[in-house]
């Protein structure tokens, strides 16, 4: 998508509402590059969970992109939002930065699973991402964010810059501010870590087992091949945060899937239904 000046409206604007025993899309606005097809009811527990796969016509983020997404989950509704596949972030011309702003709101008793596929930073890519998440005290959310690097020429040319700001707000107060601003990946002589992920679990204030969930999840992540990961209770009892690192995206995806499964088991006692082999 190419826009000369920053957009001030969301190109993806979704609203989920509870209607009886179902969740419906009460608001369904999208514009280039986003594409939406039908939605799905895939889960038996929670039975009112509605699944949406957001696609992009461009298939990538380009240097001049100014993308805005807004997703609202109303009281008692439940939505699972994912994307069709990993998104390439292409080279930005000098002086340009691709920008993406995501705003997520979860009302009391609502649930949102926002599991975007990872970003792939190409040489000279420059991405500035902000994610603002407001989850009511009785609401719940899982938000995953992951990236890796790739040089099609195999020369390990670096991305130019990645800035990311994720703010989770509970009951009007910031509970987590997770910011990074990097122009290179951490170096390790022994293992080349090139894929990284962060997952935030915003849990209802009635959920009293954050410590136990973090401990169980850390043990599970430690059993997933070459994944290096850990879970830990977030500030202000807001939930659990997970960091993931691995040589490749496959292992980070496995970590996200394990986290999603643990989240569902903790909240509903049942693992999520399989979406598709690459959806998580």
Residues that bind another protein (CB under 8 A): 163, 165, 174-182, 186-191, 193, 196, 214-215, 218-219, 222, 228-236, 241, 243-245
Q: How far is the CB of 230 from another protein (least distance, A)?
A: 4
Residue with smaller CB distance to another protein, 42 or 191: 191
Q: In Å, how far are 14, 28, 213, 261 from 216, measured between CA atoms?
A: 34, 38, 5, 12
Q: How far is the CB of 164 from another protein (least distance, A)?
A: 9
Residue with smaller CB distance to another protein, 180 or 208: 180
Q: How far is the CB of 9 from another protein (least distance, A)?
A: 26
Residue with smaller CB distance to another protein, 34 or 228: 228
Residue with smaller CB distance to another protein, 15 or 241: 241
Q: How far is the CB of 226 from another protein (least distance, A)?
A: 11
Phi (first) and psi of residue 154, to 5 degrees: 70, 20
Phi (first) and psi of residue 252, to 5 degrees: -65, -40
Residue with smaller CB distance to another protein, 79 or 234: 234
Q: How far is the CB of 83 from another protein (least distance, A)?
A: 22
């Amino acid at each position: 998508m190419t826009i000369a000046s920053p957009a001030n409206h969301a190109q993806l604007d979704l609203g989920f509402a509870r209607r009886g025993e179902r969740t419906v899309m009460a608001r369904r606005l999208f514009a280039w590059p986003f594409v939406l097809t039908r939605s799905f009811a895939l889960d038996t527990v929670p039975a009112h969970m509605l699944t949406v796969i957001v696609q992009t016509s461009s298939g990538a983020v380009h240097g001049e992109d100014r993308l805005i997404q807004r997703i609202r989950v109303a009281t008692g509704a439940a939505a699972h939002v994912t994307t069709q596949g990993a998104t390439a972030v292409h080279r930005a011309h000098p002086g340009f930065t691709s920008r993406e702003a995501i705003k997520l709101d979860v009302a009391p008793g609502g649930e949102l699973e926002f599991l975007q596929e990872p970003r792939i930073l190409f040489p000279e890519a420059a991405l500035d991402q902000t994610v603002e998440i407001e989850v009511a005290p009785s609401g719940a959310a899982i938000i995953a964010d992951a990236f890796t690097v790739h040089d099609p020429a195999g020369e390990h040319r670096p991305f130019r810059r990645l800035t990311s700001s994720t703010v989770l707000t509970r009951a009007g107060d910031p509970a987590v501010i997770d910011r990074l601003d990097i122009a290179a990946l951490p170096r390790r002589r022994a293992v080349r870590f090139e894929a990284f992920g962060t997952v935030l679990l915003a849990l209802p204030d009635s959920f009293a087992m954050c410590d136990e969930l973090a401990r169980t999840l850390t043990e599970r992540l430690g059993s997933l091949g070459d994944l290096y990961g850990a879970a830990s209770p977030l500030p202000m009892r807001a939930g659990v945060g997970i960091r993931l690192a691995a040589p490749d995206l496959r292992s980070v995806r496995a970590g996200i899937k394990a986290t999603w499964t643990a989240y569902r088991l903790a909240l509903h006692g049942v693992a999520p239904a399989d979406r598709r082999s690459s959806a998580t």
